[in-house]
Amino acid sequence: MKKIILLVPIIILVFISIVYYYSIKSDNLVSYKDSLINEQKQYEKDFKSSGYTIDNPNIILNPYEISPLTALVIFETADEVEPTVIINGKDKNTTFTNTFESNKVHYLPIYGLYPDYNNEITIKYGNISKTIYIKPDKLPDDFILSTNVESNKSKLDNELYFFSPSSKGYMCAYDVNGDVRWYLTESFTWNINRLKNGNLLVSTERLVNPPYYTTGLYEIDLLGKIYTEYKLNGGYHHDYFELENGNILVASDNFDSGTVEDYIVELDRKTGDIVKTFDLKNILNMNDGKSENWTDYDWFHNNAVWYDKNTNSITLSGRHQDAVINIDYDTGKLNWIIGDPTNWSSEYQKYFFKPIGDFEWQWSQHAAMITPEGYVFIFDNGNNKSKIKDEYVPAIDSYSRGVMYKIDTTNMTIEQVWQYGKERGSSYYSPYISDVDYIDTNHYIVHSGGISYKDGVIQNQPAGLVGADTLKSITTELLNDEIIFEIELPTNNYRVEKMSLYSGNYELKDGIILGSLDETKVDKSMSLIFNAKNIDDEYKSHNITFTKEYDRLVVNGTFKKGTNVEIILYQNLVAYKYEWRISKTPYTAMCVDIFNEEGTKNGLNTNKYINSTNLKGRYDIFIKIDDKLYKTNNYVEF
């Protein structure tokens, strides 16, 4: 009898728990979005070679679903042969030829197809010659086409100009005629460059934090095949540099520090581990050299990473201090600073150079690099041209330029040895983004990528911040100070690289994912949820959606700035509470608009990211909006 009496409270407690569980249990499993790498594994099941010959090849257009102007031609031969592919263009400068390695099984990537055109491709080996035709779809309606192209083809080869977007657009490539010959449909941005193995390194399409910090990097080829995804807890922005050992120096963030764009990491390409870090707050005074765009959290705004093996040093570009700095790779100690020393502390004056001859400082610069001659090559955006507000130069009287400096680190002197852009005045003025590229001695590219107008007036701030109605980028290639190529586009573009179409080898192998995203900041507590409201019209007005990615939960919604929002994941009487900060620019003043949260009449459309690290099992999802707690009727499984 006593045992029965003792069991009664336990039974009641179990009964109450069961009733409680089913009262809060949600019905809808959050939709799942796999990684691009896993999606690509499914596509590759169709990449069959058996039974296909040169006379009847397996032709797969856009094989990875993100590179529409490419194809894969697959076939087998009885003997090992070295096929040569010719993609016929409009002239010799737009025709591409590549010879592949000897093999019996052939996976031939075809690059550089014209959109909405029956492209003629010739495949040759031995005494065999086969012509095939491939017609891709037309370009998307919102694709940016050139408005003006000038080219001296006698002094040009058949390399392409690869553009990364800033405003709305696609990562793409134009030939010397201004025709589009390659693009990616995913939202990749920031720098695009080629690794030593021939593959490209681009940002991921996912954000780790707004407005534009991506989760990391993809090693990818022109087909869109991703070989490796590198995840970084601090994300990636602006720039990277491949070291001789294959590791990558990456412009990243340490969000826990309260500042952004002042943190560099070295990424081990083999493991995805971070093996070295540089925190610029330990190197510079955050309050020195302030430009107009300086903020307490985005005080440096690094937009360039360049390693120089001759001096074992790293060159960085601090837009918000008008400073290009150089630090020792081994120790992280400051070597020198290029820029106007006005408003810098006395302790830093010894790191500045003394100008010699006809000279101008750079302002709000981008894309700093060291040339093979040891010169410092910079895109000088030219914002304001002074640190003294009363002396600011307005946009209509300003100009941007590529500039090259010769420095003497023994005598601490600096000379201006080359520039281009000043002579073009305000029509070449780009107050943000932009690029310079060194091709060879006296052979350079200057890319003024952020030109914008409002009501016919040139602007002094990024297009997205001033509501510009006319955008433009002008990319100029110069050989011995002669313009041999120039392309104008009615948009803003972050950077440009001139590269060959074929480099490296396509490999049919599984992609891998390296690195990790740390646990999202959370407040955990034991809790019973009794007061949650069912979904009503107010909740619906926020257009809240949930997506489970392979390594995190993404919540999207529209809220007015300043709304207090909290995501609650509930499991076994424990509430995991995640603050959702609703702010148009939560971390930085924008210098790239592509990932800017869009405003609507109901507020800002924005995301909250909750990493799956340390989460396991089923969680019911609740959302608290100001003082109202809602049962979303959704659950997620990790």
Between CA 495 and CA 519 the distance in angstroms is 33
Please give the class, per CATH, of domain 23-36+519-637.
Answer: mainly beta
In contact, 448 and 462? CB cutoff 8 Å? no
Enter the CATH code of domain 148-227+300-342+349-385+395-515.
2.120.10
Alpha carbon 636 to chain centroid, angstroms:
29
Residue 533 neighbours by CB distance under 10 Å: 13
**% of the chain residues with pLDDT over 70:** 93
Which has the higher per-residue pLDDT, 215 or 531? Answer: 215
pLDDT digits (tens, 9 = 90+) for 164-178: 998 678 999 999 999
pLDDT digits (tens, 9 = 90+) for 33-63: 999 999 999 999 999 999 999 999 999 999 9
Between CA 458 and CA 171 the distance in angstroms is 26
pLDDT for the residue numbered 596: 45
pLDDT digits (tens, 9 = 90+) for 239-284: 999 999 999 999 999 999 999 999 999 999 999 999 999 999 999 9
Stated pTM of the model: 0.94
Which has the higher per-residue pLDDT, 135 or 590? Answer: 135
Q: Which of 591, 425, 405, 590 has the alpha carbon at shortest distance from 495? A: 591
pLDDT digits (tens, 9 = 90+) for 402-455: 999 999 999 999 999 999 999 999 999 999 999 999 999 999 999 999 999 999
Say whether pLDDT at 590 is over 60.
Answer: no
The strand ranges marked E within 154-253 are: 160-165, 172-174, 180-183, 193-194, 200-203, 207-209, 213-220, 226-236, 240-242, 248-252
pLDDT for the residue numbered 594: 45
pLDDT for the residue numbered 25: 78
Residue 221 phi/psi, 5-degree rounding, is -110, 180
pLDDT for the residue numbered 583: 75
pLDDT digits (tens, 9 = 90+) for 99-156: 999 999 999 999 999 999 999 999 999 999 999 999 999 999 999 999 999 999 999 9
pLDDT for the residue numbered 211: 86
Mean pLDDT of 218-232: 98
Say whether pLDDT at 6 is over 80.
Answer: no
In contact, 608 and 210? CB cutoff 8 Å? no
Between CA 204 and CA 590 the distance in angstroms is 19
Alpha helices in 220-332 (DSSP H): none
pLDDT for the residue numbered 597: 47
Q: Which DSSP symbol is given to 336?
A: E
Question: Please, what is the average pLDDT of the chain?
Answer: 93
Residue with tokens 């019911």: 620
Residue boundaries of the structural domains of the chain: 23-36+519-637, 53-134, 148-227+300-342+349-385+395-515
pLDDT for the residue numbered 27: 87
Least confident of 118-122, 410-414, 531-535, 592-596: 592-596
pLDDT digits (tens, 9 = 90+) for 481-529: 999 999 999 999 999 999 999 998 999 999 999 999 999 999 999 999 9
Topology match between the domains 23-36+519-637 and 53-134: yes
Report strand pairing: 628-637 vs 28-29. Answer: parallel
Determine if the peptide bond prior to 211 is cis (ω within 30°).
yes
In contact, 281 and 262? CB cutoff 8 Å? yes
| Banded model confidence at residue 14, pLDDT cuts 50, 70, 90 | very low
Residue with tokens 């109901």: 602
Q: Which of 283, 481, 450, 471 has the alpha carbon at shortest distance from 380? A: 450
pLDDT for the residue numbered 169: 86
For domain 53-134, say whether CATH 3.40.920.10 is its number: no
pLDDT digits (tens, 9 = 90+) for 329-383: 999 999 999 999 999 999 999 999 999 999 999 999 999 999 999 999 999 999 9
State whether residue 417 is helix, strand or coil: strand
